[in-house]
Every structure is written in C-alpha cells, then in structure tokens.
Structure 1
Amino acid sequence: MTERVVPEPWRRRGRPTKQGAVLSERVIVETVLHMVGQHGADVLTVRRLGAALDADPSALHQYSRNADDLLLAVADEFIGRAQPGRKPTSEWRTGLCELGLRVHASHQAHPQAALLAAYRTTGRDNEIRAVETILGVLRSTDFPDREAVRIYHACVDQALAFAALDAAALALPAPAQAADLQV
C-alpha cells in the first residue's frame, strides 16, 4: 500500500497558503486533470502545478511526495468516478461488464491524463474499494479464490487496456484522428 505523507482526513488546509490558495487533494487532482487536458502531459511539473494553483510548489508536498504520487492520485480518481451510481446485480457478468464500462468512460473523459494513469496500480482507497467490490461479486458465485482472482485480472486488465487504447486515440490531434478514421 502507498505510504501517505498525511492521512486523507487531514489533507485539507484550514487556512490559505501565503499566496491565498486553499488546497486539498481534490483541488490538486482537478487542476492536474485540467492542466494535462489543456496542454498535454509534458506540462505536469510540481513547479507548474504550484503556479496553476497559485501556491508555492513546496506546499504541494503536504499532499503528495512528487509528480508520480500525483499521477497515482489521478489514477485513483478515475477509479473513484466509475463507482457512484453502480447498482449491485445478482448476475456477475453483468456487474463486471457495467463496472468495466464505467472505468472506461471515466478514462475517456480525460484522455490525456488517462494515458498517464490507466496502467498504474495505486493502492489507494478507490482502487481498494473497486478491487473488493469485484472480488466480492466473483466470490458470491462460489468461484474458488484462485479463479476469482484470475477472472478479476482478466476483466480489469481488459477494461484498462481498452480505456488506454481509446484514450490514446482521443488524445491524438484532430487531423490525425480524421486520418485514422478515414483509413
């Protein structure tokens, strides 16, 4: 599991930074998504993120150790966005298919960031909750644990592979997308 600098419930500043920004992990992740979506992955540095948040870059270390830790937060955010509104079903195939489609859709909403995050294992709260949900669905069908884990990996790997592949296509410049569609 990822070691945290500051536990999640305490990751909120009660007062603004010297520059006036009130930071939280949510604000930081949303800013990362916006920056990468607007300007591509190359712009993601702690210095630029600090500037976008109107905060000293050193203040970001309260929320993450480095840029890679930020990417793990983004990956976990995509997984978290796939979960609300999901309705449990007694049919395990339907449940796994729905969750896979939700994960795919959450990645397609931010294709540039999805390219950076789709292949990562975060060990964070949303990912753990999703893993437990999927394994719970599979265990409810009386699959032995080894089989449940094998099916879990097949489903998750396939959903994330399609999410990354489709995100890559969406992240292409418009002329390249049009050329690919024409072919």
Structure 2
Amino acid sequence: MSSPASPARGRPPRLDRARTLRTALDLLDRSGLDALTMRRLADAMDVQAGALYRYFATKQDLLTAMAERMMDGVADAAAGSGDWSEQLAALARAMRTALLAHRDGARVFAGTHSTGENTLGFADAVVGVMRAAGFPDDDAARALHTTVNFTVGHTLEEQAALQPGSSSPDVLAGAVAAGAYPHLAASLPALTSTDFTRHFEFGLAVLIAGLRARR
C-alpha cells in the first residue's frame, strides 16, 4: 500500500529532501518568510504536515537547510580574481547576490547557523584568502565575521526597503524636512537613494580599506 511519502510504484516521489527544499524556496519567493509554515509547505506538496518531519525536525532545521541551499556555489566566486582584496570583494558580492536571489533571503540566512558544505566552504574560502594574504589566523577569522555581518546586514535592509509598500525614503525625507537636521538635509539624496549596489560597494570598500590598514 502506498502512503503520502511513499507513492505507488511508477509514480514520481511526492516527498524527498531535495524536493521539499525546492518547494520551500518557491513558497518563500511567492509569499515571504512570515507566510512560510510547515503546514503551508505540506499543503503545497500534498502531504501530511507530519511527513515533513522525516527530513526536518523543526522549522528552524528547514530554514537552516534553505540557507545552506542558497549558498550553493558562492565559495567559487574568488576563483580567477586578483589580489586578496579583489577575492574578498568577489566573495562578498556573490553572497549578496545569492541572498537577493530569494525573497527574504537575508532574513532566512541571518537566523541560521548552517554547518553544511556550501556555508562552510564559503567561510573557508574567506579565511583562506585572508591567511594567504598574511593576516594572522585570529584576524582572518574576524575578517570573515565582519564580511558576513556587513553583507547580511546590508542585504536585510535592502530587501526590507524593496518590500511592496515600503516608504522608508519618503518617511525619512519628511522627518528630516520637519526638523532641524542640517547635516542630514545636506546628505539626504544619498541617504534616501535606492541605489543599493552603490551603498554596498561603498561599505565594502571601507571594510577592505580598514583591513588593508590593519595588515
């Protein structure tokens, strides 16, 4: 007799880990993280919710696996780049691109601590770039933390600002105009700009300049 997780012979499997992750990412892209529940995922796969726990004991386990899947191939970004600063920049850019590829991707990643080969491979690539450049092991590890924290934090804000209905630039502009903030008023075009790539590249350049000075 077949079951929701074990269909009759000749039919494609209705439930496996890879398909569950693909469906979860599809739901994330369509509805966002807040709407992603184990029940909705089970409904999308036409199985009982309990069947999902064969592969993911909790929703947090599912989110961790989703974050790991997002990082697929990101560690390869430094290949063929120039010196350590260009390699580090390439890795940070690739991580941002990977998170932006999915709605709320940064929120998913920020709440997880994957030890899968994609995430650890990325971390190893960053630390390896720094060690090869002559940074002490402790500095190389902290450079990894700094790069990841900057990239994830920036992408969190970027994706929040791009949500439908977001009015953050207008709200900020109105608040500055209504008060006595001469310095903010002078820099308002940059503060309210939605050129997030330019914002990211500025912060990344500052980060790398700081590491270069420390080295």
Fold match, TM over 0.5? Answer: yes
Residue deviations 1:67-121 (CA, integer Å, cap 9, x gap)? 1111111111222253456524351111111111111011112132432333432
Change (3 A) 1:146 1:179: same
Change (3 A) 1:103 1:73: same
Identity %: 26
Native 8 Å contact 1:107 1:118 kept in 2: no
Distance of 2:15 and 2:75 partners within structure 1:
25
Change (3 A) 1:85 1:94: closer
The 5-angstrom pairing of residues 143-158 of structure 1 reads 143-158=135-150
Q: Which amino acid aligns with 1:17?
A: S
The 5-angstrom pairing of residues 163-178 of structure 1 reads 163-170=155-162, 172-174=163-165, 176=167
The 5-angstrom pairing of residues 72-151 of structure 1 reads 72-84=64-76, 86-151=78-143
Aligned partner of 2:36 in structure 1 is 44
Native 8 Å contact 1:107 1:167 kept in 2: no
Report the secondary structure of 1:80's partner residue: coil
Over aligned residues, Cα RMSD in angstroms? 2.7
Change (3 A) 1:34 1:178: farther
Which of 57, 60, 64 is the equivalent residue of 1:65?
Answer: 57
C-alpha displacement of 1:41: 2.3
Change (3 A) 1:24 1:83: farther
Which of 16, 24, 33 is the equivalent residue of 1:24?
Answer: 16
Report the secondary structure of 2:57's partner residue: coil
| Higher relative contact order structure (alpha carbons within 8 Å, sequence separation ≥ 6) | 1
Report the secondary structure of 1:111's partner residue: coil
Q: TM-score, normalised by structure 2?
A: 0.67
Bigger shift: residues 140-149 or 108-117: 108-117
Bigger shift: residues 75-84 or 54-63: 75-84
Q: Which amino acid aligns with 2:167?
A: A
C-alpha displacement of 1:22: 3.2
Native 8 Å contact 1:18 1:55 kept in 2: no
Change (3 A) 1:39 1:80: same
Distance of 1:36 and 1:179 partners within structure 2:
27
Q: Give unpaired runs (5+ residues) of structure 2.
A: 174-191, 193-215
Distance of 1:85 and 1:24 partners within structure 2:
30
Q: TM-score, normalised by structure 1?
A: 0.77
Native 8 Å contact 2:127 2:140 kept in 1: yes
Native 8 Å contact 2:160 2:166 kept in 1: no
C-alpha displacement of 1:31: 1.3
Bigger shift: residues 21-30 or 32-41: 21-30
Distance of 1:178 and 1:119 partners within structure 2:
26
Q: Which amino acid aligns with 1:59?
A: A
Change (3 A) 1:24 1:181: farther
